[in-house]
Structure 1
Amino acid sequence: MITAQAKDSFERIFRKAAQARLPVDSSEHCEIVPLADAGEGATKNTQVVVLTISSIVFRLLLILHFDEDDSTRAYYLQGDLERSFQEAFLEICNLCCGAMNQELLHYFPDLGMSTPYVLSARCLPHLHELKPGLVQSYSIRLGDAAQLAATICVCAYAPIDFVADTSAIEETSGELELF
């Protein structure tokens, strides 16, 4: 069971991480709006990047939906012809999930985070197979240039109740943590 305040905390942690890490330029506007379901707005070409944060009491999937169209590719590559879109975008996705992981570490000390992997968005209707306690989807607009979507899926293995304090602004540059 995930309490209402824990669900709200997961959402606030996601919003803070998305607004800090998904825009290429930190001064750029990042609008996040709830969606009715995980597949809303998906096309036949929509893909998803899946990242996982796991603890003893829960597994959180951060699923970022994207179409590799010209505007999204241009937004994340910023004219860099040396990198592939997927390399640049997966790095951004990893930074976003890492920011969520850093916030969650304040409340859950033993977390592990997966590397990102890309799947077809056709897998989204199967999220219910995981028996999640929370599934919430969002539309994300980055300035006037890029449109993404995101889904947070949390599976609880024990009762989860916490209140995240996301008011403090932490500036990090995406350092790599060594264990």
Structure 2
Amino acid sequence: MITAHAQDSFERIFRKAAQARLPLDSGDPCEIAPIAEAGSGATKDTQVVVLTISSIVFRLLLILHFDENDSTRKYYLNEADDRPFQEVFLEVCNLCCGAMNQELLRYFPDLGMSTPYVLSARCLPHLRELKPAFLSSYSVTLNGSVQLAATICVCAHAPIDFVADTNAIEETSGELELF
């Protein structure tokens, strides 16, 4: 069971991480709005990046939905960058999940984070099979033109109740954490 306070905390932690890490430039707006269902608006080409944060009491899946279209490629790849789009995008997704992980470490001291992997968005209806205690999806618009989506899926192994303080301002430069 995840209390309403904990659900709100997971959502606020996601919003803070997404607004800090998904835009390439800190001045780019990042609009986040709830959507009814994971995968709504997905096309046959929509893919998802799946990242996992695990603890003794829960497993959180952060799922970032994307279409590798011109506007998304142009936003994340500058002209001088010769890396493939997915390499760059997976790095951004990993930074977003890492920011969530850092926030959650304040309340859950033993967390592990997976490496990102890419799947077809056709897997999203199967999230219900995990019997999540919290499942929420969002549309994400970057710089007014790049459309992404996100899903948070939390499976609880014990009761979870916490209230996150997401008002604290942290200075980080996206450092890599090794463990």
TM-score range, shorter chain: over 0.9
Q: What amino acid sits opposite 2:49 in the alignment?
A: V
Q: CA deviation at 1:98?
A: 0.1
Within the alignment, does 1:29 sit opposite 2:15 as a pair? Answer: no
Q: How does 1:63-142 map to 2 (within 5 A)?
A: 63-142=63-142
For 2:130 and 2:79, locate their aligned partners in 1 and report how far apart those are by CA, in whole Å: 39
Deviations 1:84-119 (A, max 9, x none): 100100000000000000000000000000000000
Match of 1:57 in 2: 57
- 2:46 corresponds in structure 1 to 46
Deviation at 1:59, TM superposition (A): 0.1
SS at structure 2 position matched to 1:8 = helix
Shift of 1:37: 0.2
Runs of at least 5 residues in structure 2 that lack an aligned partner in the other structure: none
TM-score normalized with structure 1 length: 0.98
- Is 2:161 the counterpart of 1:167? no
When the two chains are superposed, the root-mean-square deviation of aligned CA atoms in Å is: 0.7
Deviations 1:37-88 (A, max 9, x none): 0011100000000000000000000000000000000100022341110010
Quote the sequence identity (%): 80
Offset, 1:174: 1.2
AA in 1 matched with 2:130: L
Q: Distance in 2 between matches of 1:124 and 1:178?
A: 30
CA distance in 2, matches of 1:41, 1:178: 36
The residue number in structure 2 matching 1:4 is 4
| Mapped partners of 1:121, 1:151: distance in 2 | 11
Paired amino acid for 1:176: L
Post-superposition, which runs of at least 4 consecutive aligned residues in structure 1 deviate over 6 A? none
The count of residues paired between Structure 1 and Structure 2 equals 179
The unaligned stretches of length 5 or more in structure 1 are none
Distance 1:158 1:150 in 2: 25
Match of 2:145 in 1: 145
